[in-house]
Amino acid sequence: MSEGIAYQNKDILFEILGETYREKSFAAYGINLPPIRKPLPTNPPKISASEKDIDNLFPLEDGTYAIVDYEAELKK
In this predicted structure, what is the pLDDT of residue 45? 64
pTM for the full predicted model? 0.41
State how far the Cα of 42 lies from the Cα of 51, in Å rounded to an integer. Answer: 12
In this predicted structure, what is the pLDDT of residue 69? 79
Please give the torsion angle defined by the CA atoms of residues 12, 70, 55 and 65, in that order, rounded to the nearest 10 degrees: 140
Q: What is the pLDDT along the chain (76 residues), one digit of tens a residue?
A: 557 777 777 777 777 777 777 778 888 888 888 888 887 776 656 656 555 667 788 889 899 988 887 776 766 6
Residue ranges of domains in the chain: 9-44+53-68
